[in-house]
Structure 1
Amino acid sequence: MRTGRFEGHVAFITGAARGQGRNHAVRLAAEGASIIAVDICGQIASVPYEMASEDDLRETVNLVEALGGKIYATVADVRDRAVLEGALNEGMARFGVPSIVLANAGISPQRATEPDPQQVFLDTIATNLVGVWNTISIVAPMMISRGDGGAIVITSSAQGLIGRGGDGSGAASAYTASKHGVVGLMRSFSAWLAPHSIRVNTVHPTGVHTAMVEHAEMMEWVAADPERGTTMSNPMPVGMVDVSDITEAVLYLVGESGRYVTGVTLPVDAGFTSK
């Protein structure tokens, strides 16, 4: 059932084929927004788990359209600025300039044994940090020209506020560095865009029930260090949170409820960053 809280809004969402990105797209569409959705829909060689597919992206489309929502979805790698810009332009030709941007695409390639630590470090930084810069730096000037404000939310992590669980590996180091890095981007962009009534914030989940986290290689990485399971646990009695918990935070930030909230780091972490 569709409601109208975001009627007339256009949302640009990266990493929308499954997980948090899909859930954000479906919820925003259910509340009236038109969706421009992109995802790499392919494998990065250094990532040990199966990444999203074109079938996954089509399922996001199906779920949005089943609600009566409007969506333009296409394959685009956030590391490829030209392709990403082309995808956004195609979406804008259908729906207009986004007022909501969710820079959500990311990878978390931790594994017990890394064949090439440097490559996984570079791939993680390129996706999680450069990809976020690409996304926002492309769309922000268009939002300024649109002249009606807007909201941008970057998906960081609890690891973007602390460094717990690091082991010097390429993936763990790069993941934490990239998720800290997007906080810097958020603060820079929020200062730039605030005079244009465009708000920029980060959301910082603990572990979320998604394919990016719930895979054998991640479990082996946690099990490789006897203390890591305790170190990476939440103070609240919950192992992981649900995608809907993150979506609720995002809707608060991009909605009228967050109209004066900008430049903040919002944890949804079951106390992880407080322990």
Structure 2
Amino acid sequence: MNRMTGKIVLVTGAASGIGRASAVRLASEGAIVVCADRNLAGAEETAAQLPGASAVEFDAASAEACRKVVDHVIAKHGKLDVLCNIAGIGGFGHAAQIADEEWDRLVAINLSSIFHLSKAALPHLEKTQGNIVNMSSASGLVGAAYASAYSATKAGVVGYTRTVAIEYASRQVRVNAICPGGVDTPLIAGGAVMGQIEGIDFALVARMSPKMAPLARPEDVAAAVAFLASDDARFITGIMLPVDGGQTAG
């Protein structure tokens, strides 16, 4: 498929995981991808695989960095067609034991970065009638034990996505979000996250298990990113697309 031919796409979190898989998928469909990540070496490794791609160092926790990375894309390519807000971090633990600094960092990276990047990108996306694909989570749609701070940020992405989609629909800018469930990354596969929580009730954790097995691959989520970013989704805006193997189905 060549659905993205001629499109300039900014992908944050492109050094690894879903971000890297999305950059690879979009480039395979013809996009010129700017790979942004705090891990510049990882972003460069991703970009090196892709025709016409480039890498830029980017700290999602910094409002200034969010503005500058959009300016970088415009200076380099003269336009922006798609913004993929994929950079994010996890954070898990008992609700009463989450440190203030951890809360602030989760909000800055998972939620505020989407605000700052979108704010900078929207005037340019109006010119190209482009779109935004945000990364929320199944934990942003339903409650997830031991993920109160993380879930709050991802629920915030849901509300922000829906509201901006409404505001910009008449301006021909689409805004959607994807809500992955469990994705097979080394961290998840190794059980490292939940295994570190003292006194965990695994019955509560099991409530958020996917109905399908095994876990999703980053490429499964990247396929959804590519669909929403493409003109195949030209009449779709304001949706939260679960890629969760039935995790939120009930």
How high is the TM-score relative to the length of structure 2?
Answer: 0.92
Deviation at 1:32, TM superposition (A): 1.2
Total equivalences in the alignment: 249
Assess, with a 3 A threshold, how the Cα gap between structure 1 residues 190 and 116 changes in structure 2: closer, same or farther. closer
The 3 A distance-change label for structure 1 pair 226 and 90 is closer
Partner of 1:235: 211
CA distance in 2, matches of 1:202, 1:226: 29
- The answer to whether the Cα contact below 8 Å between 1:10 and 1:96 also exists between their aligned partners in 2 is no
SS in 2 for 1:234: coil
Which residue of the other structure, out of 32, 35, 38, is the alignment partner of 2:36? 38
**What is the alpha-carbon distance in structure 1 between the residues aligned to residue 57 and residue 217 of structure 2?**
25
**Offset from partner CA, 1:115-167 (integer Å, 9 cap, x none):** 862211111111101011111111011222x2x3112111000011000324x
Structure 2: any 5+ residue segments left out of the alignment?
A: none
Cα displacement (A) at 1:104: 0.7
5 Å-filtered alignment, 1:40-79, equals 40-41=38-39, 54-64=40-50, 69-79=51-61
Matches within 5 A, 1:1-275: 4-41=2-39, 54-64=40-50, 69-110=51-92, 117-144=99-126, 146=127, 148-166=128-146, 172-211=147-186, 213-215=188-190, 217-221=192-196, 224-236=200-212, 238-275=213-250
* Local SS of the residue matching 2:236: coil
1:152, 1:212 → 2: CA distance?
Answer: 27
Q: Is the 8 A contact 1:104 1:155 kept in 2?
A: yes
Mapped partners of 2:124, 2:129: distance in 1: 11
For residue 202 of structure 2, give the secondary structure of its aligned residue in structure 1. coil
1:78 touches 1:134 (CA, 8 Å); kept in 2? Answer: no
* Equivalent-residue separation in structure 2 for 1:94 and 1:176 (angstroms): 35
Q: Offset of 1:56 from its aligned partner?
A: 1.6
> Which deviations, in whole Å up to 9, do the C-alpha atoms of 1:193-221 show, x marking residues without a partner?
11121110111110112245345531414
Residue ranges of structure 1 left out of the alignment (5+ in a row): 42-53, 167-171
Evaluate the alpha carbon distance shift between residue 87 and residue 164 of structure 1 in structure 2; reply closer, same or farther with a 3 A threshold: closer
Q: Is the 8 A contact 2:92 2:148 kept in 1?
A: no
Structure-2 change in CA distance of 1:116 and 1:55 (3 Å) = same
Following superposition, which runs of at least 4 residues in structure 1 exceed 3 angstroms of deviation?
111-116, 211-217
Kept in 1: contact 2:83–2:132 (CA 8 A): yes
CA–CA separation in structure 1 for the residues paired with 2:98 and 2:171: 44
Q: Matches of 1:58 and 1:136 in 2, distance apart?
A: 23
For normalisation by structure 1, the TM-score amounts to 0.84
Inter-partner Cα distance in structure 2 for 1:111 and 1:56? 28
Identity value in percent: 31
Query: 1:110 Cα deviation (Å)?
Result: 2.1
Quote the RMSD (CA, aligned, Å): 2.1
Q: Look up the equivalent residue of 2:193 and give its one-letter code.
A: M
Please give the per-residue CA displacement for 1:224-261, whole angstroms capped at 9, x wherever unaligned. Answer: 3231442231122x141011111111111111210000
**1:55-74 deviations in whole A, cap 9, x for unaligned?**
3222101221xxxx112211
Shift, 1:262, TM fit: 0.4
